[in-house]
């Protein structure tokens, strides 16, 4: 069957510029839409707090950071001009995202559109700009107050200037290239990948144009100029880069390449299985873009290389950074953001394929198969809670709504301080030691527990900040945990601080099932009345009569005079850190619980009950107290709640 050729209609220059304006407005809308709908997360809080410092302190802070100071300096002046709200600080990245789309158009236009006349059909520049405008990965980082959208924009701008220099060297373009190249180096340590691409492509260009040796001298001078501008920061950069922890090469090549293609195609807000149609479409379009080009002849026009060389340049721009990321062990899911430097060539090559596909129906089908999952990914980015950033804004609001003057706040990871204090005053906020030891955990917690009646603790990144969970283990023994809630990947816990009884104040012999004994309980604070919002500090004393082969949760419940549940705390013993399967027979287990009385709790008399149930089945253990069989909950004592 013969495929019908594509239409050869031409787009006038005025129409092309009008379409480009529409695409830039689309890019603007997608990047500014719901720009402040989500909270800052940790790294964005770091950006916000660094940018508010004087220049000297920004440079000092960046010297101890894993990023150079360029973005922070730019954000400092941007902040002074437009404000420090979430929308204002993220707007810098959003504008950089629009700039990247504009230069993606220019790259497509320069590489794959005819220099002597109009290009038939939808031009590669316009199609590339459209793909860049709707790119979920580009939109994601254009809505983040970090340096990655700026990195992508500088990648596109510097490469466009590089191509201009190859076509026709000029002092103005060379000067601009040096400034943009140096700015890229000061923005992010992945930018050298772009400069390596330029040098590889220039090397091939020199082989093709052997008689233009003076261009080599000019190019060397430009590279020296870029390096000279970066020289003051180079020692710090080398120290930072060599101090990076590698990703660990915990991947296999084919799945890693598939994951990279997924990120480039549909971003980080769509899983591979849901994006398979888009991935197949992208793979076919890349094959169409690259394969036929090697049979083309290079243009004899000496002013600018055309044909196969241009495809080679775009392919190196796309593929070489991926090779370097894998070679330097920089691939893992958290570092897919480095791929933003190769979004421009990815979209340009796809656009070339759309333009070269012999059938309009085929090109439209491939483009549709690519764009529909992209739209779904954008919807997930804006609305799916599974892809929302950690909600420190809501954490701070919830803490503020419940806080009392005597409360304290502990942050278990050091880089939580910036984002939390962006939303909450830096008052009674205590960053925990990083990679703590038992000794410095004790030295840190002792004065905090002595000074505060309640503690709000934010747990994040335990595997990195506190891999042995020493802070949480110490709090399970020295405080009364009453509440846990997840906000994305951040967990907010509420503890009561009170005396720590080591012996029961009330003893009895209550059997739960046939292997677990409750020896008694103690209530720190005695018979003092409670107020709504308080934490009831309860200590239970357990003993195993024999080894326990099942895990059980403890439920502590408070019921009002009408038997209605008003407060509850369910957890495995020692705040999930000492399951019943780890108990030693005949050893007394001291187990502390805090039961948080809701702020809306009405005054009156209440009763506290305790029970045990299977973690997996939910079946409660029967209780025998003395010779009497009790229901599945054992009443311990009454408490009186007063008005706050």
Q: Model confidence at 302, in pLDDT bands (50, 70, 90)?
A: very low
pLDDT for the residue numbered 576: 92
Tell how far CA 196 is from the center of its chain: 28
Which residues pair with residue 592 across a beta bridge?
Answer: 539
Beta-carbon count within 10 A of 558 CB: 24
pLDDT for the residue numbered 297: 43
How much of the chain is in helix, strand and coil states, percent to nearest 5? Answer: 50, 15, 30
pLDDT for the residue numbered 247: 63
CA distances from 168 to 12, 302, 304, 624 (A): 25, 10, 8, 92
pLDDT for the residue numbered 119: 58
| Local structure of 273: helix, strand or coil | helix
Least confident of 17-26, 115-124, 480-489: 115-124
Highest mean pLDDT among 18-32, 285-299, 330-344, 525-539: 18-32
pLDDT for the residue numbered 135: 97
Find the radius of gyration of the CA atoms of the chain. 31
pLDDT for the residue numbered 393: 97
Burial 110-132 (b: 16+ CB within 10 A, else e): bbbbeeeeebebbbbbbbbbbbb
- Is residue 61 a contact partner of residue 86, using CB atoms and an 8 Å limit? no
At residue 94, φ and ψ (nearest 5 deg) are -60, -40
Q: What is the dihedral of CA 176, 182, 183, 184, to 10 degrees?
A: 110
Segment (H or E) for 62: helix 55-63
Q: Model confidence at 426, in pLDDT bands (50, 70, 90)?
A: confident
pLDDT for the residue numbered 155: 98
pLDDT for the residue numbered 308: 82
Assigned token pair, 133:
């405008």
Residue 8 has pLDDT above 60, yes or no: no
Q: What is the dihedral of CA 59, 63, 66, 72, to 10 degrees?
A: 0
Q: Model confidence at 360, in pLDDT bands (50, 70, 90)?
A: confident
Q: pLDDT tens digits for 227-260?
A: 999 999 999 999 888 777 776 677 788 999 999 9
Residue 9 has pLDDT above 70, yes or no: no
| Local structure of 11: helix, strand or coil | coil
The fold of the 506-642 domain, in CATH, is Immunoglobulin-like (2.60.40)
Strand-strand pairing, 535-544 and 588-596: antiparallel
Q: What is the dihedral of CA 537, 543, 547, 550, to 10 degrees?
A: -30
Share of the chain above pLDDT 90, in %: 74
> What HEC string does 102-162 produce?
HHHHHHHHHHHCCCCCCCECCCHHHHHHHHHHCCHHHHHHHCCCCCHHHHHHHHHHHHHHH
Mean pLDDT value across residues 125-130: 95
Q: pLDDT tens digits for 593-616?
A: 999 999 889 899 999 999 999 999
Residue 368 has pLDDT above 80, yes or no: yes
pLDDT for the residue numbered 335: 84
Mean pLDDT value across residues 406-421: 93
First vs last C-alpha separation in the chain: 83
Assigned token pair, 401:
């709504």
Q: Model confidence at 346, in pLDDT bands (50, 70, 90)?
A: very high
Alpha helices for 384-469 (secondary structure H)? 392-402, 417-423, 438-451, 462-465
Rounded mean pLDDT of the chain?
Answer: 90
Least confident of 27-31, 296-300, 431-435, 628-632: 296-300
Residue 327 has pLDDT above 50, yes or no: yes
Instruction: Say which residues have a Cβ less than 8 Å from residue 257's Cβ, sequence separation at least 6.
Output: 322
CA distances from 231 to 67, 71, 221 (A): 16, 18, 15
Mean pLDDT value across residues 583-590: 94
Q: Model confidence at 625, in pLDDT bands (50, 70, 90)?
A: confident
pLDDT for the residue numbered 596: 93
Assigned token pair, 289:
């873009």
pLDDT for the residue numbered 301: 38
Q: pLDDT tens digits for 539-585?
A: 999 999 999 999 999 999 999 999 999 999 999 999 999 999 999 99
Residue 224 has pLDDT above 70, yes or no: yes
Segment (H or E) for 593: strand 588-596
Residue 300 has pLDDT above 50, yes or no: no
Assigned token pair, 12:
């006038």
pLDDT for the residue numbered 13: 82
Q: pLDDT tens digits for 258-275?
A: 999 999 999 999 998 899
Segment (H or E) for 636: strand 634-642
- Is residue 612 a contact partner of residue 513, using CB atoms and an 8 Å limit? yes
Instruction: Say which residues have a Cβ less than 8 Å from residue 86's Cβ, sequence separation at least 6.
Output: 35, 36, 39, 40, 145
Domain boundaries defined on the chain = 13-387, 392-496, 506-642
Burial 145-173 (b: 16+ CB within 10 A, else e): bbbbbbbbbbbbbbbbbbbbbbeeeeeeb
Residue 427 has pLDDT above 70, yes or no: yes
Residue 85 has pLDDT above 60, yes or no: yes
């Amino acid at each position: 069957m013969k495929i019908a050729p594509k239409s050869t209609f031409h787009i006038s220059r005025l129409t092309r510029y009008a379409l480009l304006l529409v695409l830039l407005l689309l890019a603007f809308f997608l990047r500014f839409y719901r720009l402040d709908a989500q909270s800052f997360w940790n790294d964005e809080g770091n950006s916000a707090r660094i940018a508010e410092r004087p220049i000297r302190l920004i440079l000092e802070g960046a010297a101890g950071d894993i990023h150079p100071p360029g973005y922070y300096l730019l954000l400092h002046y941007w902040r002074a001009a437009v404000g420090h709200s979430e929308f204002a600080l993220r707007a810098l990245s959003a504008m950089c995202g629009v700039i990247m789309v504009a230069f993606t158009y220019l790259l497509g236009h320069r590489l794959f559109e005819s220099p002597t006349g109009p290009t038939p059909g939808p031009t590669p520049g316009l199609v590339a700009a459209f793909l860049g405008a709707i790119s979920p990965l580009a939109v994601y980082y254009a809505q983040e107050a970090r340096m990655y959208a700026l990195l992508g924009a500088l990648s596109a701008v510097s490469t466009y200037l590089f191509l201009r220099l190859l076509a026709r060297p000029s002092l103005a373009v060379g000067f601009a290239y040096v400034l943009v190249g140096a700015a890229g180096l000061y923005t992010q340590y992945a930018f050298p990948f772009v400069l390596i691409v330029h040098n590889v492509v220039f090397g091939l260009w020199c082989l093709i144009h052997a008689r233009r040796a003076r261009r080599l001298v000019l190019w060397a001078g430009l590279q020296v100029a870029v390096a000279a501008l970066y020289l003051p920061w180079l020692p710090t950069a080398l120290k930072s880069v060599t101090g990076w922890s590698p990703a660990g090469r915990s991947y296999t090549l084919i799945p890693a390449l598939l994951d990279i293609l997924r990120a480039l195609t549909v971003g980080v807000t769509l899983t591979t299985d849901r994006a398979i149609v888009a991935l197949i479409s992208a793979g076919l379009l890349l094959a169409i873009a690259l394969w036929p080009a090697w049979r083309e002849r290079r243009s004899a026009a000496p002013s600018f290389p055309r044909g196969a060389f241009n495809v080679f340049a775009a392919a190196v721009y796309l593929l070489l950074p991926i090779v370097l990321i894998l070679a330097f062990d920089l691939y893992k899911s958290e570092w897919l953001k480095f791929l933003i430097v190769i979004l421009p060539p990815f979209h340009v090559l796809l656009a070339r394929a759309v333009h070269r596909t012999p059938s309009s129906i085929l090109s439209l089908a491939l483009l549709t198969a690519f764009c529909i999952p992209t739209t779904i990914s954008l919807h997930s980015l804006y609305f799916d809670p599974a892809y929302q950033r950690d909600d420190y804004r809501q954490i701070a609001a919830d803490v503020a709504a419940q806080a009392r003057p005597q409360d304290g706040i502990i942050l278990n990871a050091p880089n939580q301080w910036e984002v939390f204090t962006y939303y909450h005053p830096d008052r009674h906020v205590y960053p925990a030691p990083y990679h703590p030891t038992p000794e410095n955990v004790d030295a840190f917690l002792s004065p905090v527990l002595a000074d505060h009646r309640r503690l709000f603790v934010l747990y994040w990144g335990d595997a990195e900040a506190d891999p042995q969970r020493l802070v949480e283990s110490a709090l399970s023994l020295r405080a009364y945990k009453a509440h846990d809630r997840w906000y994305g990947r951040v967990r907010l816990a509420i503890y009561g601080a009170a005396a720590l009884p080591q012996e029961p104040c009330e003893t009895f012999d209550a059997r739960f099932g046939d292997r677990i004994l409750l020896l008694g309980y103690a209530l720190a604070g005695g018979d003092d009345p409670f107020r709504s919002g308080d934490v009831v500090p309860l200590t239970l004393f357990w003993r195993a009569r024999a080894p326990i082969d099942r895990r059980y949760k403890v439920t502590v419940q408070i019921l009002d005079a009408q038997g209605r549940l008003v407060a509850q705390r369910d957890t495995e013993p020692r705040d999930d850190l000492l399951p019943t399967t780890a108990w030693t027979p005949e050893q007394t287990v001291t187990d502390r619980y805090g039961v948080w009385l809701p702020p809306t709790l009405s005054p009156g008399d209440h009763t506290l009950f305790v029970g045990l149930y299977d973690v997996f089945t939910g079946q409660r253990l029967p209780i025998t107290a003395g010779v009497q069989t009790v229901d599945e909950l054992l009443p311990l004592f009454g408490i009186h709640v007063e008005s706050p």
